[in-house]
Amino acid sequence: MTLIDKYNVVADSFTTAGKISSKIKDILKQLGVPSDKLRKISVACYEAEINMIIHSDGGDISLFIDDENGMVYLHFDDVGPGIPDIEQAMVPGWSTASEKAREFGFGAGMGLVNIKRVSDNFDITSSSEGTHLKVGFQL
């Protein structure tokens, strides 16, 4: 498994929201990832990036490629309050988006559900120190 790149996400950086996802999308295009997969990875990445901006105190997004098994992995590691009840967070429509986030039109609460829906591999752990989300996609 090769780490392609690692990007820093700044909390509350709404004005540049989605920029990292765009970069990752460009890299995957360059890599020749088939377009149906590219869509799914992009959507998941965007949702998770927004989640980090809204809910965490910042963190990193890392892009890995496992060329032997034909997998793309995205790791989202943040510091911050964490998700107290993951099961509840997986219910469609549930959201704790802050007032500011709502103002920007984010926080419809589809985040985690959407990410799980489009990914082939989904693993999340969360504590009061932060959240670690690993998603994998079979190419």
Choices 33-41, 55-63, 83-91, 125-133; region in contact with other proteins by CB under 8 A: 33-41
Give least dist CB 19 to other proteins, A.
11
Q: Is 34 in the site for other proteins (CB under 8 A)?
A: yes
Interface residue with other proteins, options 9, 38, 53, 101 (CB under 8 A): 38
Q: Give 28: exposed, middle or buried? Use CB within 10 Å, 0-12, 13-18, 19+.
A: buried
Q: Is 55 in the site for other proteins (CB under 8 A)?
A: no
CB-based contacts of 73, cutoff 8 Å, min separation 6: 1, 63, 64, 65, 66, 121, 134, 135, 136, 137
Q: Is 68 in the site for other proteins (CB under 8 A)?
A: yes
Interface residue with other proteins, options 9, 42, 53, 115 (CB under 8 A): 42
> CB of 133 within 8 A of CB of 123?
yes
Q: Is 43 in the site for other proteins (CB under 8 A)?
A: yes
DSSP of 11-76: TT-GGGTTHHHHHHHHHHHHTT--HHHHHHHHHHHHHHHHHHHHHSS-EEEEEEEETTTTEEEEEE
Interface residue with other proteins, options 3, 10, 67, 129 (CB under 8 A): 67
| Site for other proteins, rule CB under 8 A | 2, 4, 18, 21-22, 25, 27, 30-32, 34-36, 38-39, 42-43, 46, 65, 67-68, 70, 139
